[in-house]
């Protein structure tokens, strides 16, 4: 995957997080927090919304207990999607 492809996916994940939080957290908040969802202010309801969005958008079924570390950061979510999809972006 090209560097731009990873960047595009990162942008898409940031957008999903913003929507999952009801736009309480912005993409700028995520970048300012170094990609940490918790530091950006993502709450437990938003995490549930994000898990559902990942399933709907990418077909990635997330187990919050197993995948909790991956859900902690934007880069972790990008890696989770890439791993579940065999490295590709859909």
Question: Taking the model in full, what pTM does it have?
Answer: 0.86
Q: What is the pLDDT of residues 47-83, one digit of tens each?
A: 999 999 999 999 999 988 899 999 999 999 999 999 9
Indicate the DSSP class of residue 73: B
Q: Distance between CA 34 and CA 88 in Å, rounded?
A: 24
The string of DSSP letters for 17-67 reads: HHHHTTTSS-HHHHHHTTTBHHHHT--HHHHHHHHHHHHHHH-----TTTS
* pLDDT, position 7: 82
Residue 5: pLDDT band (50, 70, 90) is low
All domains in the chain, ordered by first residue? 3-84 (1.10.1200.10)
Residue 31 has pLDDT above 80, yes or no: yes
Residue 6 has pLDDT above 90, yes or no: no
């Amino acid at each position: 995957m090209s560097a731009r492809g990873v960047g595009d996916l990162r942008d898409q994940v940031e957008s999903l997080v913003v929507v999952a939080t009801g736009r309480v957290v912005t993409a700028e908040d995520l970048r300012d927090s170094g990609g940490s969802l918790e530091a950006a202010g993502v709450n437990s309801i938003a995490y549930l919304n994000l898990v559902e969005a990942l399933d709907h958008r990418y077909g990635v079924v997330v187990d919050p207990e197993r995948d909790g570390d991956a859900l902690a950061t934007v880069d972790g979510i990008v890696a989770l999607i890439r791993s579940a999809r065999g490295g590709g972006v859909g």
